[in-house]
Structure 1
Amino acid sequence: MSTSIVIADDHPLMLRGLTDFLTSKGFNIVGSAADGNTAYNLIVKLKPEIAILDIRMPHKTGLEIAEACKKNDLPTKVILITFDKEEDVYDQAIDFGVYGYILKEFAIEEIEICISHVIKNERYFSEEIASYLNHNTHSKPNELEKLTKSELKIVKLISENKTSSGIAEELSISVRTVDKHRSNIVNKLGLDNKPTSLSIWANLNKQHF
């Protein structure tokens, strides 16, 4: 059965464009909305596998919907589309358990790739976002020498937008062990403890892995 999706955007052309594109790719668009309240009500009623939401909509923002989904343990995985490149918005998205975060100008190009990750319980964030955020996380060649082989494997998987549980499954280790490695990596690289820092660093430096 094809993946069930709700789409919400207050820009009619974007809403129609995404709906038509994903329908043509065989996805099951079970509902669409032009405002946040309607979108959230559809999610509660239909419980789609994925909700693709504009961050800034009337009545309820995409971030507020993501927060409500997390608070109420709804099974729907949220993908946000946005023009926002601010770090605090990105951080909030991570805190609210968002699975995908892509820029609007690349939405049609990236949405199918993003969905393919999300349906496998993997997070996907546009590479373009990393170039706007936390520029101090660029690597120096010798930084990678600080990491063990196990840590390098984990950083490579993080650069592929895999979650801790996804990494644990792939490497046949526990999530607790992955999280311990992540903490060690952050300390060795001198990154801050924000949830996004290691993900951004890994995406910026994936060509080195």
Structure 2
Amino acid sequence: MLQHNQQLTIAIVDDHPIVIEGLKNLLASEKYFMIISFTTGRELQAYLKSGIADVILLDIVLPDINGLELCKDIKKKRPETVILAISNQTERSMIVQMLQNGASGYLLKNASADELLDCIERGMKGEPALCNGARAIMSRPSPNDWEGIPSLTKREKEILKLIADGFSSTDIADKLFLSQLTVETHRKNIIQKFQTNNMFSVIKLAMEHKMI
């Protein structure tokens, strides 16, 4: 499918060996690919000090480095490198952020081999490369996109800061003289405003946008 006269070095970065093996199998049909793999972001960074990767298939959730920041860092140092996020994260805000940080595209981990090869080809041509699932997520109307930071009330900011500091809902309720139900309602509202499905993602995004 891909027409290349020279070998392409493709780096897979994922902390799950089974995912790495699956991706290697999907790419095995392409004789021009040289596949290398890493299970941490730091391993990739160490390799890139002297080695070259034409395309990086980058998981966003890594055990040692935030994939969003790693993407930005690599693009700053190696702007010619094509980075394709490969993730189970289906939040629209996550896709937007990866693209803003320099990624050429975004693949969900349930994408097909054809989609994977197509996205690599598009990325190499300098075109946006989204798998069908990511394209569907991006096409959904979103009144609160990450072009603007979600607007939180003073109370929501207060609660988010306490959650980030490790306080439980019960602790927060006692500290702010609120009922636990009120705190839980605020938690749900904050998660909804960030267009994500868990508080961990909210805290991560809020820290990146220096909200906490």
Please give the TM-score of this superposition, normalised by the length of structure 2.
0.59
Match of 1:120 among 97, 120, 125: 125
Q: Distance in 1 between matches of 2:140 and 2:82?
A: 29
Alignment: residue pair count: 143
Question: Does the CA-based 8 Å contact 1:35-1:60 persist in structure 2?
Answer: yes
SS where residue 52 of structure 1 aligns?
Answer: strand
Checking the alignment, whether the CA contact within 8 Å between 1:31 and 1:42 is kept in structure 2 is no
Which residue does 1:69 correspond to in 2? Answer: 74
Identify if the C-alpha distance between structure 1 residues 29 and 63 changes in structure 2 by more than 3 Å, giving closer, same or farther: farther
**Alignment check: 8 A CA contact 2:7 2:34 kept:** no
Instruction: Tell me by how many angstroms 1:92 deviates.
Output: 1.1
Aligned with residue 108 of structure 1, among 107, 113, 119: 113
In the alignment, does 2:55 pair up with 1:50? yes
Counterparts of 1:29 and 1:61 in 2: how far apart (Å)?
Answer: 26
Q: Structure 2 CA distance, aligned partners of 1:19 and 1:193?
A: 33
Cα deviation digits, residues 36-57 of structure 1 (max 9, x gap): 1112222332121111111111
The superposition leaves residues 62-98 of structure 1 with CA deviations (integer Å, 9 ceiling, x where unpaired) of: 2222110122244211011011111221121111110
AA matched with 1:98: A
**Aligned position for 2:44:** 39
Q: Per residue, is there more helix in 1 or in 2? A: 1
Deviation >6 Å, runs of 4+: none
| Alpha-carbon contact 1:81-1:107 (below 8 Å) kept | no
Cα shift at 1:133: 4.2
CA RMSD of aligned residues (A): 2.7
The 2-side partners of 1:12 and 1:63 are apart by 21
2:27 aligns to what? 22
Map 1:113-192 → 2, pairs under 5 A: 113-133=118-138, 135-136=140-141
Amino acid at match of 2:108: L
| Percentage identity across paired residues of the two chains | 26
CA distance, structure 2, for counterparts of residue 59 and residue 136 of structure 1: 33
User: Is the contact between residue 10 and residue 57 of structure 1 (CA under 8 Å) also seen in structure 2?
Assistant: yes
Between the aligned partners of 1:122 and 1:30, the Cα distance in structure 2 is 22
The unaligned stretches of length 5 or more in structure 2 are 1-5, 149-212
Q: 1:44·1:74 contact (CA, 8 Å) conserved in 2?
A: no
Of residues 58, 79, 92 in structure 1, which corresponds to 2:84?
79
Q: Which amino acid aligns with 2:106?
A: Y
CA apart distance, 1:22: 1.5
CA–CA distance in structure 1, aligned partners of residues 138 and 26 of structure 2: 29
User: For residue 88 of structure 1, what is the aligned residue in structure 2?
Assistant: 93
Cα displacement (A) at 1:105 = 0.9
Match of 1:98 in 2: 103
TM-score, scaled to structure 1: 0.60
Amino acid of the structure 1 residue aligned with 2:46? N
